[in-house]
Amino acid sequence: MVTNITVRRVMPVILMEKKINRERMKKGLWVWVFVCTGLMLYGQSRQDTLHGVVTYKTTLNVYIKFPSTSQITIGDTLYRDQQGKAQPVVIVRQLSSTSCVGNLIQGVNLKISDQVMSIHPLPDVPTEVATKPSLIYESIINADQQPIQDTIIPNPKSNKIEPAFRGRISAASYINFANQPGYDVQRMRYTFTLRSKLPQEKGFGMETYMTFRHTINEWQDVKENFLKAMKIYTLAIQYNLNKTTRFWLGRKINFNISNLGAIDGIQAEKQWNHIIVGSFFGSRPDNLDYGINLNLVQYGAYVSYVNQNKKGQISNTLSIAEQRNHHMTDRRFLYFQHQNSTIRNINIFASAEIDLYTIKNNQPQNTFLLSSLYTSIRYRVSRKLSVSMSYDARKNIIYYETYKSFIDQLLEDEMRQGLRGSFNLRPLKKITLGASAGYRFERNNSHPAQNINAYLTCSQITSLRISTTLSAVLLQTSYLNGNIYGIRLSKDFMKGRLYEEVEFRTVEYRYGNTELPIQQQIIGVNTTLRLNKKLSLSVNYEGELQTNRTFNRIYSNVVYRL
């Protein structure tokens, strides 16, 4: 028989055991939470972004500098960030130890000093770097457009406080000289960029990017047209009303509608969960000097759907825009963009422009004509192999008022179409090989352009840790046939503070039906020195040797980061 005294004695013990058990359960739960959190953080670390900066642009390529490209492969898609949205901007075509060369995705307009990032899930790869193949046929077509190399200090780690401002000041010199008169010229280019830390919730931010260019001993041209030398590509103030409402005032490219280029005016954007709605009103930069032209009014709106999950990101953007010239419609069109990385190991991008306005028999009419289409798909078959394919179809874009004087030429509605494929294979730890092929044609052109670019890279396979790249380019167009074969040697010194590169290329090409081919031997030497965290210097020499002419180019650049 249990007495009341026994019950009173036993109850505290039972209650104490229950309390101990609850404490154990709490501790066990917290341990489980920490383990799960660690696992999730480990999984997220596999997708850490690698940031780079655009250092140079040509009509065909964009050059981007990274702290290291060991985690980037040819065919990767690079992105830029806009309020948490990753927008695809560049397809990587060539690599070096700290730089990559890529093709802009249609509708994207990157500027020098713009930041881009690589955010693909990355396998465990060695820190040895891959190197890029030789510069493709662009050097044949335009000898003045040479690859410009720059340096970038790695972004600070995430546990460091981000500075209030980021920017840089640079001075570059382009010197051309030859053993024949008329080729000696020196051009100077000064660049200033500044971007404030964007407010997390409410407040102001700003960004600017401007350049000043002139030719030595030709200062009179600057005095006659200052805007021809001075270019302001971005100068805007941002105001965040709250976490989801943003405004911009000034000149700025909107990443959601980057196909429009720069907008001078006011832009606004509102976000509801996965939906982003925005609008803009302003003008286009002047066609001749890129100054402000209030006669080129443009306005429009866009809506985007963005969803990020464990598998990846999917986004769709639809925009409508009207562009005017002296109050008359110049162009009216729709723009659609789709990006999808939610399918395992596959990345898809597509964009299209549809014209809604036309003039027939001098009468304005509404229409619905596809004027631009671009699609690309990249498939990572395995850690060692990736393949990609893209299709580009564009018609002549008609601005009915701007180009009114020769509108009949544009009304031929010429279409340019191109198909491109590439692969990148790493069969061994320090061996990388790849190739890309392109086929481009116009409807009325019986001679399509074809090119094949192949390379083999051996990364630091000797005791000297020198990386070697062998490359070959075969090119055929309606007016030019050419072959380029090259070898490049590169090495880092002083723990990456000093980078040296030596290159030799032999070029043979023939214009039209000429009997004798033109042969060139091109030698290149590049030195990049990081003096400290803020100051860097690079010097690039390239000599072009022909039978009766020697043409030399020296590019030097000093960069100070604010």
Q: What is the pLDDT of residues 217-273, one digit of tens each?
A: 888 888 888 888 899 989 999 999 998 999 999 999 887 787 788 899 999 999 998
Q: Please tell me the predicted confidence (pLDDT) of residue 62.
A: 79
User: Rounded to 5 degrees, what are φ and ψ at 54?
Assistant: -70, 125
pLDDT band at 77 (very low <50, low <70, confident <90, very high): confident
Q: State the CB neighbour count (10 A cutoff) for residue 548.
A: 6
Question: Which residues have CB under 8 Å from 113's CB, separation 6+?
Answer: 53, 54, 168, 191, 193, 209
Cα R_g (the chain), whole angstroms? 28
CB contact at 8 A, 489 and 466: yes
The tokens 């260019």 sit on which residue? Answer: 213
Which pLDDT value is given to residue 379? 93
DSSP 36: H
pTM: 0.67
Say if residue 166's pLDDT is above 50.
Answer: yes
pLDDT at 131: 28
pLDDT of 159 over the 90 cut: no
Element (H, E) at 40: helix 4-45
For residue 28, what pLDDT is reported?
Answer: 43
- Other beta carbons less than 10 A from residue 406's beta carbon: 8
Average pLDDT score, the chain: 77
DSSP secondary-structure letter at 84?
T
Q: Report the pLDDT value the prediction gives residue 32, as an integer from 0 to 100.
A: 38
Tokens 């302001």 identify what position?
232
Query: Any idea which of 49-58, 199-208, 493-502, 528-537 has the lowest mean pLDDT?
Result: 49-58
**Greater model confidence, 115 or 260:** 260
Domain regions of the chain by residue span: 1-46, 47-120+130-561
CA atoms within 13 A on the CB side of 287: 8
pLDDT tens-digit profile of 410-435? 666 677 788 999 999 999 888 999 99
Positive or negative: CA dihedral 425, 427, 430, 431:
negative
Distances (CA, A) of 465 to 139, 459, 489, 492: 29, 8, 10, 8
More confident residue, 265 or 533: 265
The pLDDT tens digits for 290-299 are: 889 999 999 9
pLDDT digits (tens, 9 = 90+) for 322-366: 999 999 999 999 999 898 988 888 989 898 999 999 888 888 899
Task: Give the model's pLDDT for residue 58.
Answer: 62
Q: Cα-flanking dihedrals φ and ψ of residue 140, to 5°?
A: -75, -45
Rounded Cα–Cα distance for residues 98 and 67 (Å): 6
Highest mean pLDDT among 92-106, 128-142, 268-282, 521-535: 268-282
Residue 3 confidence (pLDDT): 43
pLDDT at position 139: 28
CATH code 2.40.170 for 47-120+130-561: yes
- For residue 200, the SS3 value is coil
Spatial CA neighbour of 54 closest among 25, 19, 80: 80
Tallying the residues shown for the chain, one arrives at: 562
